[in-house]
Every structure is written in C-alpha cells, then in structure tokens.
A and B are shown apart, each in its own frame.
Chain A
C-alpha cells in the first residue's frame, strides 16, 4: 500500500508524509467487506497512523446483480421486483417511483386517490428507512438498546406493507397505474393504530439519544462535510440537508400530489453525524405530518387508472369477458404496447434523489434503463469525510450516511 524511503512515506493516494509527522505505527487494515460495523458488503482499505486514518481505498461491487442489463429483457411490470432490491430499507419508494416513471412514459394521469395512497405508503417507507439508519448510529456508538427499541414500531410498518401487498421486505408493491386493491379494513385499522401509538413511542426513543451527553459527544464533529463539497460530490437527501442545503425532490419537482401537503424540510448546519441524525429524526416527524394530511383527506374514487393494457382485469372478468381475457394474456406475457420515448423521473428516496432514466424503442422491454442511485454517488465522498478521523468515527460516519449495499452495487 505504501512506499517508504528514509524519511518519507508515500501513501497509496499519492500523498507524501514526513516520518516526523507520524505519531504511532503506520498500518494497513481492512474495514470490511464482511464486518459487523459495515452493515453491508463493502470494503475500505484503511491506512492508519495508530488510530488516525490517513487514507482509505474503497472497493464496491460485491453484490452487483446487473439490474440494468436484466431490465433490458423484462416487460415493464416485471421490472418492479428488481427495483425492490436497490434500497431494500425503503423498497416501496423504489417500486412506486418506477411505476410513476412508466406512467409518465405512457402519459397516464392516475386518480387523486392513488396519488394520496402512494404518498401514505412512501412516507411510511421513509419512516422505516430512517428508523433503521438512526437506530444503527445508536448501535455503533455503543447503545444497543436504541436499535431494538424502534424495531417494534418498524414491525408495525411492515405489517402495513403486508396488508397492501403481502410482502414485507422486497415488497413488489402496487401496479403500473395504481394498486391491485384498495386499502383493506384491516389496513385502515392498523394505520389508525400506528398513527396513534407511534408518536409517543418515537419521542420516547428519540429522548434516549437526542440530548444524550454521551451520544452528542460521540457524534458531533464526526465525519463532517461542507455544503460546497457535498454539492460537488452530488449528495442528495438527508445527507445533503444535514450540510445545510434544502434540496428535496418532493418540493422542487413535486410528484404524486406532494404540492397538496404542508411540511417543512429540516436542514442541519455542520453536516456531521449528529446533524444527519437530527435531520432524519425531524424527517420522521414531517413524514407523520404528511401521512396525517393524506389520510384525513384521502379522496374517494378508483384505486387505479383506467389503463386496461397495463392493469390486470378482475379474475371473474377474465373468465366471462373476451376483452379482459385478451388484456390478461397480454399483460401476463408482457406484450402490452409501449410508446417510443425517453423519460427521466425522480422521486425523493430514503437516501436522496432516486432517478429512473428510461428509453423505450417500443419493444416489450426498455431499450435502456438507468437508475440514479443516490448511495452510489455520495459514497465516493467517504474517504474525504473520514480522513484524519479515528477508526471509531469512520464506523459511525458510515452508518450515518446510510449506505445500502443493494443500492450501491445495483
């Protein structure tokens, strides 16, 4: 990893240090690929001076699954399960973002009820995503309780997913044009229960960390990034907002009726681990606000758009109606006709701007589908963020930027 001469040490990134500036012993250590503190499969080869990090070389791609190539052979509705596996902490956002992209290509206007239902689900997913991330910062600072405590609340969100689509982690939620079914009575009951009990449980858990002396001392100043550097690196989402920039796709390019709701975008000041934690905690409260507004004003109407070419007909119609049978066959075999076009659509994912760049040549599968994966773009700033920090700070920085291996490697 490094060359040494009498008095100088040349590091792998080209930096040359005088031996006099070295306090301890220079060593090279592997942080990952499989390590409990990386929370995913990625490797950092650290050159350390005692406990202080001098350089870091990243290796990514351990769980690369060629999603963009796979997508070039799949009909549009079969791409939804691929998107689940990007950011698997908030898969419904990925699913619904993909459906909105296809609807944009098809130029379909979905009913207001569908848009509100989507908002409710996407905000639930954001809460689940942020709960995991923030509780893991707790674990890495030594507070294991803070990890277990929100899991009972996250479980309730997963039960809500289950009520909509039958799955929990890789949800494959919704359909192009809307949903396969309306919210069930059980869903309504569970959502009301959740909205009633969650704020209290959340604040109790938040109280354990937010003003905790040990937690604050541990996280303030750890892994900071300035707004300018964050922008240069293409940061989006909570990590960018923690650095003080209030960019949010939900506000700048509202989709799915986000313009109807009243919510604020929290921003931090220093862009350090504590700010990232605080921004996410506040986003959870804002997500709750949005869910309340969307649920209380949930419009009546159909739960899917009227696009028989893409939305599976009722099973009883398939048996009794010639047209329904034809559409059923076309959808299942992936032979629905898609217009030629090129479209970019983005949504505010758990980690930032999650974009879909879709090119259709009129074939059954996309000609090209590219995902803008926020993790992949901002993770390259990691060596800069941890340079000069202690190894333990590298761990909490990694957990606080919420790098999800699935999204990183596609």
Chain B
C-alpha cells in the first residue's frame, strides 16, 4: 500500500475527522482532534483492510509559540499487513492537557503514556496508573517542556547566539 492509497482510504473512512494530512519523507502524517484520537486509532487497529496492528511509539512535542495547541501528542502506528507506517498527531492546549488513554487497545501504551506524562504533563484519561515513571515522584515540573532550559540561565559567559538554543 502506498501513502496515497492510504490517504484515500483514510479520507473515505474518517471524513471530517481528518483535520490535516501531509507526507513527510516516507511517512504519511495525519492530524486528528484530541477527542477523536482514540476512536480513530481503534478504527485503524480493527479495520480488516488497513490493519494498523502495531503501536510503535507514543510521544509528545512542545511548541510554546502555538497558542492553544502547545502540546502535540504523536502516535506512530505500523500496519504489518500493508508494510506501511502512519504518524497521527493530536494537539492539546498547555492548560490541563488530557487525551484518552490507549491502554484498552494496546498494553504496551501503558509505560509510554506514563513517560509522556512524566516529561510533558499530558494526562491520559482512563490510564490505570497515571504516575511518573523515570523521574522521581516528588518532582513538581515536567522537564521536557521548552521553558526548562538545560543550562543555568543565570550564566553570562555563554551567548546563545553562538552556542545554540
């Protein structure tokens, strides 16, 4: 199956749920609303033709400049039957970001969602154990957000124009 065929099939089945789509390098990337993400993935998993049987990766990206859609949850799906990958994105606001958990569909989503919560603060509704995983429980911030810089901001000897972000 090619990306174009996949996109046609998605248009047909998802209709207006498909907010945006583009092909980046070799992978089709689609955007769905956070309310629809679970339903779409459930459909993709159970559809006999598309058969996205494997959840490859869950993660998030922080875009602080994009107001109202600062956090992007990214799902990588893989259809072994059709040998094709699909990236699904869902944008969330900075305030109380939450999205439905994929744990009823894939047991492997459990720790990946906990990791995403740990580092980005995205809450996954319906997750059996929504706690931190790699960082210590006492931590009171989500370190992968862009406002937390890697280096001490009071340093004056390093000029970011010359030494990176």
Whether the pair B57, A357 counts as a contact (CB closer than 8 A) is yes
A348 contacts B by Cβ under 8 Å: no
* Pairwise interchain contact B111-A376, C-beta atoms closer than 8 A: yes
Once the chains bind, are A61 and B133 in contact (CB under 8 Å)? yes
- In contact, B25 and A253 (Cβ under 8 angstroms): no
A72/B165 in contact, CB under 8 A: yes
Task: Identify A344's interface contact among B61, B80, B85, B164, CB under 8 A.
Answer: B85
Task: Contacts A357-B76, A410-B134 given; indicate if A68 touches B144 (C-beta within 8 A).
Answer: yes
The 0/1 profile, CB within 8 Å of B marked 1, for residues 187-209 of chain A is: 00000000000000000000000
CB contacts (< 8 Å) of B87 on chain A: these are: 344
Interface-lining segment among B12-20, B30-38, B91-99, B102-110? B102-110
Chain B neighbourhood of A74, CB < 8 A:
164
Q: Is A343 part of the contact surface with B, judged by Cβ < 8 Å? A: yes
If A357-B57, A364-B164, A410-B134 touch, whether A233 touches B108 (CB-CB below 8 Å) is: yes
Bound-complex Cα distance A380 to B134 (A): 13
Q: What class of interface size applies to chain B in its complex with A?
A: 35 or more
> Are B135 and A234 touching (Cβ within 8 A)?
no
Q: Considering the chains assembled together, what is the distance between the CA atoms of A346 and B133 in angstroms?
A: 24
Q: Which residues of B contact A292 (CB under 8 A)?
A: none
B143-A66 in contact (CB<8A): yes
B122 within 8 A of partner (CB): no
As a 0/1 sequence over residues 96 to 109 of chain A, the CB contacts with chain B under 8 angstroms (1 = contact) are 00000000110000
Q: What 1/0 flags go to B119-151 for Cβ under 8 Å of A?
A: 100000000000001111000000110000011
Contacts of A377 in B (CB 8 A): 108, 111-112
Q: Are B57 and A370 in contact (CB under 8 A)?
A: yes
CB contact under 8 A between A253 and B164, given known A353-B56, A368-B61, A376-B111 = no
Is B24 an interface position by the 8 A CB rule? Answer: yes
A40 at the interface (CB under 8 A from B): no
Chain A contacts of B106 at CB under 8 A?
232-234
* Residues 51-96 of B at the A interface (beta carbon under 8 Å): 53-57, 59, 61-62, 74, 76, 80, 83, 85, 87
Contact A61/B54 with A247-B80, A343-B25 known, Cβ cut-off 8 Å: no
Alpha-carbon distance A235/B56, docked complex (angstroms): 10
Residues from chain B with Cβ under 8 Å of A334 in the complex: 164
Interface residue B46 (Cβ < 8 Å from any Cβ of A): no
Neighbour of A61 across the interface among B25, B110, B135, CB < 8 A: B135
In the complex the two chains form, is A231's CB within 8 Å of B76's CB? no
**Residue-wise interface mask of A (61-89) relative to B, using a CB-CB cutoff of 8 A (1 in contact, 0 not):** 10010101110111100000000000000
Given A72-B150, A232-B107, A377-B111: 11 more A-B contacts, CB < 8 Å: A75-B164, A232-B106, A233-B106, A234-B54, A252-B83, A253-B83, A344-B76, A344-B87, A364-B164, A372-B56, A410-B134
Enumerate 17 A-B pairs (CB-CB under 8 Å) in ascending A order. Answer: A60-B134, A61-B136, A64-B135, A69-B150, A73-B164, A73-B165, A74-B164, A232-B107, A234-B56, A247-B80, A253-B83, A342-B25, A376-B112, A376-B115, A377-B108, A380-B110, A409-B134
Q: Which 9 A-B pairs have the closest CB atoms?
A: A234-B108, A61-B134, A64-B134, A232-B107, A370-B59, A233-B108, A380-B111, A372-B57, A368-B61
